[in-house]
Structure 1
Amino acid sequence: MATDERLLKVGVLGCGPIAQAAHFESAVKARNAELYAICDVAEDLLERMAWTFAPAKTFRDYDEMLADPALDAVIVATSDAFHVAAATAALQAGKHVLCEKPLGVAVEEVEGLRRVVEESGCILQVGHMKRFDAGLQSAKTFIDEEMGELLAFKGWYCDSTHRYHLTDAVQPHIVKSALAKRPAGNPKADLQRYYMLAHGSHLLDTARYLGGEIVEVEARLRERFGAYCWFADVAFASGALGHLDLTVAVRMDWHEGFQIYGENGSVLGKTYNPWLYKTSDVDIFHESSGTTTRILGADGHFYRRQLEGFADACLGRAPMTGADIDDGITSVRGMIAIAQSARSGRAVKLAEVSGAL
């Protein structure tokens, strides 16, 4: 029987830092996708990226890229404020979408996107690439197949004051342009909001991926010596207890991971700075055999693995395993709930939040 070797033709919207550091390379290296097109309003940046990554086509106008019948899917790699509009346009044009996280910045806009996804019949996947960390995947398999009931989940995401020394050393040189399209305001003007969107979205999605649905949070926030620390008690739908620690930035090395206590075993995970492309060290304790296992995970390119999973789903070769529209919406609800709880001092149900972060 002949093998379907068709590649998913991907267009990347945005030539900014995340596209340069992750998405262009992923599309070039993916086993089942190709970098078909790139699009950016900044002509100088577009030309330079085209010379570097050699897509088949380049566009300065997004609508023109979406009108190309050969294009299968779009990676939305723009600023957070533009995610929903860009994803909506692609879905309405009949293109699958891999949208950078967070899906959006307000409950109403991401809830509105749900209808667009349903009406389009296309796939929308949110770029929570940690779901493609082989260590986290091994923990998920253990939870689903062996662990039994979940008692408690603890997760932490602590950015480091030293992270930029590391990223400057390992990331490619990021090219900037004065012509790039930017949001109306400076995203970093409100650091509480910026840190929650950039880092809290990861922490919440990891907690949901491994612990299940979150229904309520009760959070506290402290800001001292330029560092922000959120501690959030979490109620899972299963009745399990949860605790999340989002601290930016700690005076130490990058500190990210999780602990899971279950009926038939426990899990302890250490996650590294994502730009090291190093699989998390995840130790799984099996009560039945009294043994501990850890997957090697030699392939730690989470962004490429994410794109390959997305492409397999779009090409009909496998079910989607990444974060879907519901995951993206719940992540946004969770971030807003934590922010509202920290301000009010009361527990907040995710289903009841509204507004923007």
Structure 2
Amino acid sequence: MAQDARQLRIGVLGAGPIAQFAHLESCVKARNAELYAICDAAPDLLERIAAYYAPRRTFTDYEAMLADPEVDAVIIATSDTWHVEASIKALEAGKAVLCEKPIGVSVEEVERLREVVRRTGRVLQVGHMKRFDPGLEAAKAFIDNEMGQQLALKAWYCDSTHRYTMTDAVQPLALKSEAQKRPSHSPKADLRRYYMLAHGSHLVDTARFLCGEITEVRARLSERFGASCWFVETSFANGTLGHLDLTVAVRMDWFEGFQLYGENGSILARTYNPWYYKSSDVEIFHEADATTRRVLGADGHFFRRQLEGFADTVLTGARQRGATIEDGLASVRAMAAIAESVRTGQAVAVPSMNGAV
């Protein structure tokens, strides 16, 4: 791929699995970004990763990386617990930020981050990479330009009991270190919360990407034989009705996708496990001539595509195509509302929701 003349110099915070599987490769493959620096608290892991990716600089101290004037932007690839604080430090240091999803774990901390984004005027993009899936981009274009009014959305994200068997076959072995920095409490200590943040954040953002603001949720949760299933009735500001299904884990293949019914056509989509780097299979039905169009989406590297979109925004002022801080906050609000609805058995208004997921 041809390289742009202007390159966004990226510093990656965290050299763990998500950086190894997604972000470091994206930096070296992107047409408009350069992997300038890597920062990790574990010196042995940092040395091994740097030997392969050859950044110009390495750091074990995050603030030292932020003090480097050559670093234009930071990718935050750490545990969810540190997303907000790491983002604030980067913004205050004058850097643009691409932060892994979810942007935070409570409404209040994300509101605090939003104020910093507004005050500094820096670009912050949340790593909801599915917005850069070519199939979903085609679906969004049809929604915006041809579909007319929306009627109903059914969307599902069902992890599989066999996901690690399948992904271990295609992913490189992740490098690890005993010196890696870890949260004081294991994120998996509360599995309900962990599943919602890790998986539900994808489902909620996809629903918002397709249909706009979620105004109300009514959720039910069933937990049996080690599996968890959330069924969530959703109301959207544009009048669309929705049903979201988050299940971890189904006794079958990975099952993710959506159906969307509209005035001038409908969309049926199947989304694959992200580590296959395969665009969603999307079929768009056009009512006017009763034909169906299927999108190939040959370039399925949505992590690289999201970085290129982020870099375009920072370097050229292009419209931000990825999730903004407002999108990230709305997603956390919706997840907190789902948790509250499960707890109370009542419908919960999303825009006024506060608290933790």
> TM-score range, shorter-chain basis?
over 0.9
For residue 268 of structure 2, give the secondary structure of its aligned residue in structure 1: strand
Aligned to 2:69: 69
TM (norm. structure 1) is: 0.98
CA distance in 2, matches of 1:318, 1:116: 21
CA distance in 1, matches of 2:294, 2:321: 21
Unaligned runs of 5+ in 2: none
Question: 1:337 — aligned with what?
Answer: 337
What is residue 115 of structure 1 aligned with on the other side?
A: 115
TM-superposition CA deviations, 1:3-50 (whole Å, max 9, x none): 971100000000111001100000010010010000011101111110
1:273 equivalent to 2:247? Answer no
Instruction: Give 1:115 deviation, angstroms.
Output: 0.9
Q: How do residues 189-338 of structure 1 correspond to structure 2 at under 5 angstroms?
A: 189-316=189-316, 318-338=318-338
1:59: Cα distance to partner? 0.4
**CA offset digits 1:57-98 (Å, max 9, x no partner):** 000110110011111000000000000000000000010000
Question: Per the alignment, in what secondary structure is the counterpart of residue 109 of structure 2?
Answer: helix
Letter in structure 1 aligned against 2:243: H
**Match of residue 162 from structure 1:** 162
What's 1:27 paired with? 27
CA–CA separation in structure 1 for the residues paired with 2:172 and 2:150: 41
Structure 1: distance between partners of 2:121 and 2:255: 40
CA-to-partner distance for each residue in 1:311-333, whole Å, 9 max, x for gaps?
Answer: 01110152110000000001101
1:180 aligned to 2:180? Answer: yes
Give the superposition deviation at 1:139: 0.4
Q: AA paired with 2:130?
A: K
1: CA distance between counterparts of 2:121 and 2:326? 15
| Contact 2:4–2:31 under 8 Å retained in 1 | no
How many percent of aligned residue pairs carry the same amino acid? 68
Q: Supply the AA of the counterpart residue of 1:103.
A: I
For residue 169 of structure 2, give the secondary structure of its aligned residue in structure 1: helix
Q: Distance in 2 between matches of 1:120 and 1:12?
A: 21
1:174-226 CA distance string (max 9 Å, x none) = 01111111111011111111100000000000000001110110000000000
1:352 CA displacement: 2.1
Consecutive unaligned residues of structure 1, counting only runs of 5 or more, are: none
User: How far apart, CA to CA, are the structure 2 residues paired with 1:226 and 1:343?
Assistant: 19
Aligned-partner Cα distance in 2 for 1:240–1:151: 5
Task: Look up the SS of the partner of 2:295 in the other structure.
Answer: coil
Residue 60 of structure 2: aligned partner? 60
Match status 1:14 vs 2:14: yes
1:112 maps to a residue whose letter is R
* In 2, Cα distance between equivalents of 1:61 and 1:159: 36
Q: Helix, strand or coil for the counterpart of 1:172?
A: coil
Moved more, 109-118 or 316-325: 316-325
Q: How does 1:62-141 map to 2 (within 5 A)?
A: 62-141=62-141
Partner Cα distance (1:170, 1:114) in 2: 37
SS at match of 1:12: strand
* Aligned residue type for 2:115: R
Secondary structure at 1:137 match in 2: helix
Shift of residue 167, structure 1, vs aligned partner: 1.1
Deviation at 1:53, TM superposition (A): 0.7
Match of 2:50 in 1: 50
- Secondary structure at the aligned position of 1:148 is classed as coil
